[in-house]
Every structure is written in C-alpha cells, then in structure tokens.
Structure 1
Amino acid sequence: MQIEFKASLRAEQGSSASRRLRRAGQVPGIIYGGDAPATPITMDHNEMFHLLSKEAFHASVLTIDLDGAKQTVVLRDSQWHAYKPQVLHIDFQRVDATHKIHLKVPLHFINGENSPAVKLGGGMISHVLNELDVRCLPGDLPEFIEVDLGTLEADQSIHASQIKLPKGVELVTHGDVDPVVVTVLKAKGEAAAEDGNAQG
C-alpha cells in the first residue's frame, strides 16, 4: 500500500508554539536520520489521526510531501494525550533504498480454527506475539507477515524462527532468545483431568 501525506516546515518551536499548532488543528512532528539535519514539521491532525488508526501506516515506507519536496520515511513514534483522542507529536525516520531498516511488522494468523489443535484437540490458540522485529531493505518491507496455523497440533508452539519470512526479510532476535509466537492452551476439561490424575 502506498501511503502519502502532506506536511509543512515548522518555523516556530517550543511547547507554547506546539500548543498553538494543536489548537489550530495541526500536529507537530519531526523527520530525522540520514545525512540531512532533523527537520521540524507540522501536519493536519485529523488526517494523521486517521492514518495512525491504519495498521499499514505503522509498517510501511511512507511518502511525505514536505512543501512540494517528497521524502521517504518510516514511522518511529507517536505521542498521544493521556485521555483525549488527540495526537501530540509524531516522529519519522528517513529511509534510503540501499540501506536496511529495522521495524516491527504485524502478524496475521490464518487457519487456526481449522487446525488439529482446535478441531480435534479442543484447544484454544493463544497469540503470544502479534508482531515481529525484522530487518530488510525498504523495498522489501512487508505490510504484514502471514502465519498459517492450519497444521498446528495440541501441545505445540510456534517460535519466531519457525515463521516463513518474505524474501529479503530477516528476523531480528535479541541474544539467543527464540520467542514463542503462538501456543495452544488445553481445553478446560482436559486440563482439569490432568490435574486430577497428577494429584491422585
């Protein structure tokens, strides 16, 4: 999905200037990274509120039309009001087509209801993780990664290293940890029976 939006250079900075922008229906932000200096920007609040509600906005290479000059970026952070539906600030990082980026990509689970774990074992599938840390070139960044649970058996778990990644995408792990992504919880009756057997 190609996502493009408009922004303008932000001349005034500081907390009082940011408050004035927000009252005027704008949201302040910044673009950083690459060889260029950090650039303070301002965007339409309603447009950004709508875009931030889309999953793809968080895991896509975005195009900012900054006063007519287009830049490619990824979303790095967004700050929200404590209790109002209001975006306070957004951070973007510039990307270069020849340099790999590190980003969290959402997972989409399919066929879980048809898996042996559910249909035959009566288990319940638990999604331990809903996104993965990956590294790839901007052009290879997937909007999401599909995880097929159709062959999942009872008492089985799926680890991050077992997920098939798109071409050009590599998993980012922290140390030797291979986190569990999906596990199967036993049916209540079966779990209770096992507890009874263990006590007996």
Structure 2
Amino acid sequence: MLKSVIHGDVRNQTGSNVCHRIRNAGHVPAVVYGYNVNTRAIELDKKEIDHIIRSYGTNVLFDLQVGDNHSSVMIKEIQRNPLTNEIRHIDLQTIASNKAIHTTVPIRLIGKEKVESSIGVVQQQLREVHIECLPDHIPESLEIDISSLAPGNPLKIADVEFGKEISILNEDYEVVAALTKAEKIMEETEEADLLETIVGTPEDLK
C-alpha cells in the first residue's frame, strides 16, 4: 500500500559541490535504481522526505513523481550527518508489486511486563529481522509475544511463528530475547566498571 507521494527533480550534475548546493537549497540528493531500470540521480524536497520518515518509518512504499513519471519506491539506505543526524543522501529502489523483495523489519516485544520482576530482566538481543515478501505484505514491525519467557530458555527465531506471507531470512538459532537474572546483569556492569577504572576508557588509551 502506497503511503504518500513525494516529488523529485532530475539532477544533471553530480559531485560533492553540487550535493552541497542542493542541501543548502533545502533538498536532499538521492539516486533511484531497481530491476530493469536505469539508475537516476535526483533531488528530493527535504521537508517531504522528513515527513514520510517521521510518519511511516523507512519500511514503506511511496509514490515517487519525477516530472510526468510515477514509480513505486522504497528507501534502501539513508546517509546522515553523524553530528546533526540530518539526511545527507538517500538511495531509493523501484518496486514491482509482483516481485518479492528483501528488507528489514523492527521487532516489537509484547508481554514484557508479565515476565520482568525484581529478579529478572528481559534482554532483547535481536531488534530487527531480515525478511522476504511481496511489497504489499511488508509489516511496519513484527510483534513477538514473550509472556512465557523463562530464565535459561531464550527465545530463538525457530521458536517464533511468523505469518505465511513473509519468509524470515535470519538463522533459526539467533536469539530474539532472553530473561536474565538481575544480579547477573549487576555483576557484569560492576566488572565492566572495574575494568574501566583499571585500564581506562578507549578515549584514555588514544
């Protein structure tokens, strides 16, 4: 399902100086590529793309309009400024509705409050999964119930039932979440603090 429309303009020039001017003008440099499609350099309106990401995340399809041409695309990669977190460049992939695609989807744990206590803490070890599915079946997130999680019995990919419309590409042995005794976490934290006191932080060693 297409979430929104974003407008793009063709870039006839490339290079760092051109991209710098584009960003100063309130736009974002981008490229569009995909199966049986020539790669195109374009620029997007910064406010429009920021709105889409804030509203829907990055795992959605949207309608890209460049001149009179419309295409269904999804975001494949975002490059950000490490200091300001502003978007510097975006890769977009054209999508065919009848062809399965690979993407990543965030995991959302539910039932956490039923198993956590003063002696047990849930540690989420996998925060996203790699999936393959048709574009219309891409979920915004995957909810995984951990209400029956027990100490010493971590929840693995193989233990979770996912919908038939998606294929999970992660390995079956990968741990999604585990219930760890609180005192063990405290011991690990204390050991890390002691090591930092003796050896110093990575910054101290430079």
Bin of the TM-score, shorter chain as denominator length: 0.7 to 0.9
Deviation at 1:190, TM superposition (A): 11
Compute the TM-score of the two structures, normalised by the length of structure 2: 0.81
Residue equivalent to 1:30: 31
Distance 1:20 1:158, change over 3 A: same
Residue equivalent to 1:172: 169
Aligned residue pairs total 186
Partner of residue 134 from structure 2, selected from 137, 145, 148: 137
Give the alignment of 1:119-130 within 5 angstroms.
119=117, 122-130=119-127
Distance 1:73 1:108, change over 3 A: same
Report if the CA contact (8 A) 2:119-2:183 is conserved.
Answer: no
Report if the CA contact (8 A) 1:129-1:181 is conserved.
Answer: yes
Distance 1:191 1:87, change over 3 A: closer
Task: Return the alpha-carbon distance in structure 2 between the equivalents of residues 64 and 91 of structure 1.
Answer: 13
| SS in structure 1 of the partner of residue 17 of structure 2 | helix
Report if the CA contact (8 A) 1:140-1:167 is conserved.
Answer: no
After TM superposition, the runs of 4+ consecutive aligned structure 1 residues lying more than 6 A away are 189-192
Tell me the amino acid that sits aligned with residue 172 of structure 1. L
Report if the CA contact (8 A) 1:109-1:147 is conserved.
Answer: yes
- More displaced stretch, 61-70 vs 25-34: 61-70
Residue equivalent to 1:184: 179
Residue equivalent to 1:104: 104
1:39 aligns with 2:40: yes
Q: Deviations over 1:110-135 (max 9, x none)?
A: 111113xx25x831000101100001
| SS in structure 2 of the partner of residue 84 of structure 1 | coil
Tell me the amino acid that sits aligned with residue 179 of structure 1. E
Tell me the amino acid that sits aligned with residue 114 of structure 1. K
Q: Deviations over 1:136-191 (max 9, x none)?
A: 111211111111111212222111122222231011135xx621010111131899
Q: Deviations over 1:38-85 (max 9, x none)?
A: 01111112332343345x432222221222432111211111123124
Task: Return the alpha-carbon distance in structure 2 between the equivalents of residues 103 and 185 of structure 1.
Answer: 30
Task: Return the alpha-carbon distance in structure 2 between the equivalents of residues 190 and 84 of structure 1.
Answer: 33
Task: Return the alpha-carbon distance in structure 2 between the equivalents of residues 152 and 77 of structure 1.
Answer: 34
Residue equivalent to 1:156: 153
| SS in structure 2 of the partner of residue 167 of structure 1 | coil
Q: Structure 1: any 5+ residue segments left out of the alignment?
A: 193-200
Report if the CA contact (8 A) 1:49-1:86 is conserved.
Answer: no
Distance 1:172 1:189, change over 3 A: closer
Indicate the percent of aligned positions where both proteins have the same amino acid: 24
